[in-house]
Structure 1
């Protein structure tokens, strides 16, 4: 890529004599510094400064240039982003400029802050006097520079290419820079500043526009779209369209040509592992493991069952032994004997024996014995001997025992009634199912049709009841949103209450309110307190019957699909669909952005800047030239030099020539050429200029600055034809 930093520290600083100038190309994007007479600068780095904090120590450090991102991972850069000393190609932050100069001189090998070499530094066209004077003050006061010279970077590039025969003495220099673009006319090798034109659009705006479009297009990959990477994508894939409207229509239609012009940036992606079906050996191994686990669980269950049987048998033996001992005890000693065992009566011990027997039979898997159950039910009558005894014949302890026996008897009888009811319901259900099965066998088609009709009626009834319970979304009584009105939401009981209240209010609304004076008035309260909502009574029954019919239809009709119940108040949440990332998901697609972003150089209105483009700037600059020489404009358009980083975009020369031809008369000579090296030609031209023997005459010394002050810089203009 063309933008490559070189920040290695030089070691031959002391070899050069104090008369050798130091050449600085102080661009808004990159800072280049080297020795006069050489072909390439020694040090190149980004013209930015960062002051992040160390993540561990919290110490604030100053980082100049674009260092390795691996170094910046140890610092917190969230609160301190990159800062530039420029504002629209003019230096205005001289604190940041001092950091950059310190780093540049240090990389050149200078020891200390004293610089004993003349300095040639570039600036923009028509640089404000205040910025030029502050730069001179910084170099004189902080670094002790003996003399300084200023020059326009585009002028140095034009003179360097003129020496190599690329352009003539009379011509135009078009310089689309980092943040601004300039057009400078040259007459006899010298720039004519009155004919200059400037626009605040440059390579920065192209990169920023491309970053915005790609971020909107691929929001999930915004972290990957760093400024440096987008800059590389711009220089690698963007181009200038010969006709922007025609190129946009081509991409809108699509086709093979558009597919060929589309570029893809593949992000790191690892394909998901493909799951192969298990082999027969693997299936056999898993089956053997599962069988061993099942055998182990069965053995554990058998051991637990045997332990439970032993415990129940021991408990049963103890209870039987206790009953045998109780039979040998006298009547008077029974209470004292039972107090030691923890039981209250003999009946309680016998009940415990029956429970243990039932548990033991259940543990052994034996069927229930109806006779034993009947005996157990018959013996319950003898369990509660104190129930029929009057309270005045019982002691306080016996009264407590009587209450306990009453509670136990009531609970037992309730359980028996519930059991009997369940048994009867089961018999009724079996009988009903048997009848339905007989009907189905007699005429299957008729039975299926009847079941479908019944299912439909029940479903509509249940849905109607749900709609009545739901507050419909209506506005001013108009049912326009699919909901229900107030009258439809009221059930039968509520409508009857509303009718009674309305009748009472209508009868008693005139004159004195005498409601309640007659006995007939109080009948309204009785009517209003009654529950007229018959639908609510059968709500649960309808839903149960609907579920039964639905399951029955699923058994006998393979084509039956139950309807989904609507739940307007609680919509079911959709299960998120998760799929593995594919190769296409990790691609940055650069299509129409390839020519749309560089178009801002010719149409700044795309990014909201109301200024002219590069081709129109040439027309503005030509109109500002003096009109005494009729052939001057033709000579200028015959040698148009493009310089600057944005000139590397493909199609720039053709587009400029086509745009200039549209604003010039037919047959006018137009020739657009590109500089040998649009990026480094400015520094190389300055290096050749500083190595000339007449260069010291174009500088001004520290003594001149102290004597004449900054106002002397207002009229300072170097001559480029030495």
Structure 2
């Protein structure tokens, strides 16, 4: 079953293995460049001569441990292992801007400790990444932290994607870096496009869109929450980030893909089913004696509840009988008093006039009849002999009046039951006679009988569908049905049967005096359930039972219930339904169209509610700033980097986007970074070991003279600063 559904289980988090600090002896007393890739998701750090950097999540948590009641500071993977740490987790980055410098300082402390640096100052030149078009104050505060706190001898900034491009296009000889290309960088909170000509990033023509891995992960989370609003397990951003990296992909033509996935079979074949952890319910087997005891106990409890309900019904009936008798006696005294006294008496009883009193008596009498009918409709067997009610023949007395009224009520109930039984017997005889006539008709002319019932079935279905269409049309205020309803309401408000002068003086409302009023009421009242509809549904069910029993051409799929409750195969394929008791099935998430929709948001951010140009439009805008010759040099090396660049289908999607906006004779080559996660750090390490590196950094003396805004203009760093060397 798991192979058939293509079920995937969420990975189980494992405890990180703490590693001790590195030995500092190799770099002590040497000015080995220190490389720091300060990413929004991961922090990568190490000396330029190292083969691989240290890597860890760029997150820090300060919290008080419950058992020891001590303040703890955790960095990296350990934050996810403790709920208290997760609640206090902080990242140096807010979106695409470096803002939390306390968290950055804690992260750098961890990095320098892991590198084994045990001196008072970090006596190594530092090459550090920053975002494209970073704010000036962010760079200034970072420089202040590095020079004031750690006393680094020099500091240089670079754009990570350009250094990744540098690493993948290193010159074969000692010649200067002169490669051309179009760098597309997929970051955590943004995606940027940077043209590189003759080994220099042209940042004045670079573009950035506010859509990255974090936005895509949140978008996937929202889609899952909309699809599974009552999912029993909490789905977190960590889960959706893993889903994005492991299960999502780009489509070369998203619209064509959706048309293809309209086929439920193809939709089911493309889905991925995620099984979340669940606890299977424990079933305790009971012995036969325990089951018998439980059944007996339930039977006794049911009998007690029935007795209590019967006693309560009798009490309510008696109360209603007393109320009806009191109101009847009140009405009989109508002519015995003067008009003024009678009106005052009515008002003291809560009635405005005689009509209100009559209406209350009628309503209470109808209520009593319905209550008695409910008693009659029970399954009580007919008594062997008629019960006696001796107090009914005795004159009224104060002592036995209550008991006499009770016997009167019981006698009325007994007589009503008897009448109901006789009515049921008469209806049964008529029904049997009708069934006999119908059976004879079916035997004599089976085809005619079936055709007649089918016509009746279609006619009844038509009436029900017409009522449904009318209800739907009433929800649209511009529809003809809704406008006719408003006209009926307006005509009722201007009822001519009551004079205008009398209406102003608070005269009696005559609505309901005519039976036609209630037909209008049913038209204007959307929520009113028509008695005709109930009769049609009952008759429809009876006709369908007969057709199913005697007409082999009539199937369950043609019944009203089947046609109104069936769901489309596409909707069932989109989100299969599991039984209520299936705990395992109800903790599954079926990903189908979401796998491509989330990735398509890079090219159409508007579908996720982001008012921004898509990646294809940005690429077209950047290329439009260059001549055809320069454009041809750029598109020969379209370089993609960043973790999302590893998603399947990205290169075909970019190719289908760029090919239509280029000349047919232009060569288009799209390459992916050899290691999108580490190539930026490796490119920085490669450059830090060249002779050009000392000339791109700002020394501590320059910082003390010019401040943190001082940077140097070079091919790998931001050029858009207002104060550059």
**Class of the TM-score when normalised by the shorter of the 2 chains:** 0.5 to 0.7
Aligned with 1:62 (options 73, 77, 81)? 73
Are 1:15 and 2:26 an aligned pair?
yes
Bigger drift between 535-544 and 630-639 goes to 535-544
Are 1:111 and 2:111 an aligned pair?
no
Distance 1:68 1:710 in 2: 32
Aligned with 1:260 (options 269, 282, 285)? 269
Who is 1:604 aligned against?
Answer: 605
> 1:32 Cα shift?
0.3
Distance 1:69 1:154 in 2: 28
Are 1:226 and 2:233 an aligned pair?
no
Are 1:146 and 2:153 an aligned pair?
yes
Who is 1:128 aligned against?
Answer: 135
* Conservation of the 8 A alpha-carbon contact between 2:696 and 2:713: no
> 1:604 Cα shift?
1.3
> 1:55 Cα shift?
2.3
Distance 2:328 2:335 in 1: 10
Who is 1:426 aligned against?
Answer: none
SS in 1 for 2:189: coil
Are 1:44 and 2:55 an aligned pair?
yes
Distance 1:271 1:508 in 2: 75
SS in 1 for 2:112: helix
State how 1:172-251 maps to structure 2 within 5 Å.
Answer: 172-221=182-231, 223-251=233-261
Distance 1:197 1:719 in 2: 16
Are 1:593 and 2:594 an aligned pair?
yes
Who is 2:411 aligned against?
Answer: 541
SS in 2 for 1:704: helix
Are 1:640 and 2:638 an aligned pair?
yes
SS in 2 for 1:677: coil
> 1:127 Cα shift?
2.0
> 1:587 Cα shift?
1.5
Deviations 1:519-567 (A, max 9, x none): xxxxx9xxx9xx999997544434456679999999xx999xxxxxxxx
Bigger drift between 192-201 and 109-118 goes to 109-118
Q: Residues 53, 249 of structure 1: CA spacing in aligned structure 2 closer, same or farther, 3 A cutoff?
A: farther
Are 1:716 and 2:716 an aligned pair?
no
* Conservation of the 8 A alpha-carbon contact between 2:63 and 2:72: yes
Distance 2:216 2:155 in 1: 34
Aligned with 1:701 (options 690, 699, 702)? 699
Bigger drift between 496-505 and 262-271 goes to 496-505
State how 1:332-351 maps to structure 2 within 5 Å.
Answer: none
> 1:666 Cα shift?
4.6
Distance 1:195 1:254 in 2: 44
* Conservation of the 8 A alpha-carbon contact between 2:249 and 2:647: yes
Distance 2:85 2:692 in 1: 50
Distance 1:469 1:659 in 2: 80
Q: Which runs of 5+ in 1 are unaligned?
A: 291-461, 471-489, 516-523, 560-577
Distance 1:94 1:272 in 2: 49
Who is 1:84 aligned against?
Answer: 91
* Conservation of the 8 A alpha-carbon contact between 2:640 and 2:671: yes
* Conservation of the 8 A alpha-carbon contact between 2:33 and 2:125: yes
Distance 2:40 2:675 in 1: 18
> 1:623 Cα shift?
2.7
Are 1:28 and 2:40 an aligned pair?
yes
* Conservation of the 8 A alpha-carbon contact between 1:53 and 1:77: no
> 1:702 Cα shift?
0.7
Distance 1:548 1:594 in 2: 69
> 1:69 Cα shift?
4.0
Distance 2:708 2:365 in 1: 102
Distance 1:498 1:127 in 2: 89
Distance 1:514 1:184 in 2: 92
* Conservation of the 8 A alpha-carbon contact between 2:276 and 2:588: yes
Distance 1:642 1:615 in 2: 14
Distance 1:549 1:686 in 2: 99
Who is 2:648 aligned against?
Answer: 650
SS in 2 for 1:609: coil
State how 1:210-609 maps to structure 2 within 5 Å.
Answer: 210-221=220-231, 223-251=233-261, 253-269=262-278, 494=327, 497=330, 501=334, 538-543=408-413, 580-609=581-610
Distance 2:203 2:336 in 1: 99
Distance 2:215 2:120 in 1: 36
SS in 2 for 1:51: strand
> 1:219 Cα shift?
4.4
> 1:503 Cα shift?
9.4
> 1:648 Cα shift?
1.1
Q: Residues 548, 496 of structure 1: CA spacing in aligned structure 2 closer, same or farther, 3 A cutoff?
A: closer
SS in 2 for 1:8: coil
Are 1:613 and 2:483 an aligned pair?
no
Distance 1:508 1:549 in 2: 43
* Conservation of the 8 A alpha-carbon contact between 2:248 and 2:596: yes
For the pair shown, which has the larger CA radius of gyration, 1 or 2? Answer: 1
SS in 1 for 2:196: strand
Distance 1:690 1:56 in 2: 46
> 1:646 Cα shift?
1.0
Who is 2:380 aligned against?
Answer: none
Q: Residues 118, 545 of structure 1: CA spacing in aligned structure 2 closer, same or farther, 3 A cutoff?
A: farther
SS in 1 for 2:710: helix
* Conservation of the 8 A alpha-carbon contact between 1:615 and 1:659: yes
> 1:179 Cα shift?
0.3
Distance 1:508 1:220 in 2: 64
* Conservation of the 8 A alpha-carbon contact between 2:231 and 2:586: no
SS in 2 for 1:601: coil
Who is 1:690 aligned against?
Answer: 688
> 1:245 Cα shift?
2.3
Distance 1:621 1:681 in 2: 24
Bigger drift between 633-642 and 583-592 goes to 583-592
SS in 1 for 2:118: coil
Who is 2:675 aligned against?
Answer: 677
Aligned with 2:104 (options 85, 97, 102)? 97
> 1:226 Cα shift?
2.8
Question: Aligned pairs, how many?
Answer: 475
CA RMSD of aligned residues (A): 4.4
> 1:240 Cα shift?
1.0
SS in 2 for 1:66: helix
* Conservation of the 8 A alpha-carbon contact between 1:272 and 1:580: no
SS in 1 for 2:169: helix
* Conservation of the 8 A alpha-carbon contact between 1:9 and 1:106: no
Deviations 1:59-82 (A, max 9, x none): 433222221644x15x3754x3x2
Q: Residues 250, 539 of structure 1: CA spacing in aligned structure 2 closer, same or farther, 3 A cutoff?
A: farther
Distance 2:210 2:365 in 1: 81
